A and B are shown apart, each in its own frame.
Chain A
Amino acid sequence: MKRVRVSQQEIVFAVFAALFLTFSVFLNGFLSADNMLTLLQNVAVLGILGLAMAIVVIGRGIDLSLIAALAVPAGLVLQMVQNGHSLPASLLAAGLLAIAVGLVNGWLIAYAEVPPLFATLATGLFVAGLGQAALFQLDVVQWSDGMAGFERLGQGSILGIPTSIVMFAIACVVVFVLLRQTRWGAYIYAIGDNPFAARVTGIPSRPVIVLQYVLAALIGCFAGLVLAASVNSMPTRIFNSTLIYDVILVVVLGGIGLSGGRGGVVNVIIGTLLIGTMLNGMTILNVPYAGQNLIKGLVLLIAVITDTLLNPRNEETAQQGDI
Chain B
Amino acid sequence: MASVHKFALGSIAALALSAAAAPALAQQGLDEPFQKPFREALAGKTVAYVPVAMNFDLTEGWYAGLKKELEPYGVKFVIRDPNWNTNAGAQAVTSLISEKPAVMVIHNPDVQTYAKLLQRAENEGIYVIQINMGSAYRSSAFVGANWIEIGERQTEGVVKACQGKSNKIAIIQGALSAAASAYTLKGVENVLAKHPEIKVVSSQAADWDAAKAKAITQTVLKQNPDLCGIVGFWDGMDIGTAAAIKEAGLTGKVFLATSGGGERKGACELVKNGSFDLDMSYDVPTQAAQMAGTIKWLLSSGVKAGSVKGSEYTTLIPITRENADNQMTCWNLSDLKK
Chain A residues close to B by CB (< 8 Å)? 29, 32, 34-35, 38-39, 41-42, 45, 132, 136-140, 142, 155-156, 162, 227, 230-233, 235, 237-238, 240-241, 279-280, 283-284, 286, 288-290
Contacts and interface: CB of A to CB of B under 8 A. Distances in A.
Interface in B266-316: 266
Nearest to B223: A29
A32 B210 contact: no
Contact of A286 (B60, B83, B84, B204): B204
Nearest to B202: A286
Contact of B56 (A139, A162, A240): A139
Interface stretch (B13-21, B63-71, B151-159, B213-221): B213-221
B222 A34 contact: yes
B215 A279 contact: yes
A137 B64 CA distance: 14
A45 B218 CA distance: 15
Contact of A140 (B85, B216, B219, B239): B239
Contacts of A155: 243, 246-247
B176 A289 contact: yes
28 contacts: A29-B223, A38-B218, A38-B222, A39-B219, A45-B211, A132-B55, A132-B83, A136-B55, A137-B333, A138-B55, A138-B333, A139-B53, A139-B55, A139-B56, A140-B56, A140-B236, A142-B266, A155-B243, A231-B240, A237-B53, A237-B84, A238-B209, A241-B209, A283-B202, A288-B203, A288-B204, A289-B176, A290-B176
A39 B203 CA distance: 19
B110 interface: no
A35 B218 CA distance: 9
Interface residues of B, number: 36
B210 A138 contact: no
Contacts of A237: 53, 84
Interface in B9-61: 53, 55-57, 60
B265 interface: yes
B205 interface: yes
Contacts of B83: 132, 240
B211 A38 contact: no
Interface string B221-262: 011000000000000100110110011000000000000000
Given A29-B223, A140-B236, A231-B239, A289 B207 contact: yes
A35 B223 contact: yes
Smallest CB-CB A-B distances: 10 pairs: A42-B215, A289-B205, A139-B55, A283-B219, A231-B240, A231-B210, A139-B56, A38-B222, A38-B218, A235-B210
Nearest to A282: B204
B330 to A, nearest CB: 14
Contacts of B243: 155, 230-232
A138 B85 CA distance: 17
Nearest to A32: B222
A148 to B, nearest CB: 12
Given A35-B223, A231-B210, A233-B210, 19 more contacts: A29-B222, A29-B223, A34-B222, A42-B219, A137-B55, A140-B210, A155-B243, A155-B247, A231-B214, A231-B240, A235-B210, A237-B53, A238-B211, A283-B215, A286-B202, A288-B204, A288-B205, A289-B205, A289-B207
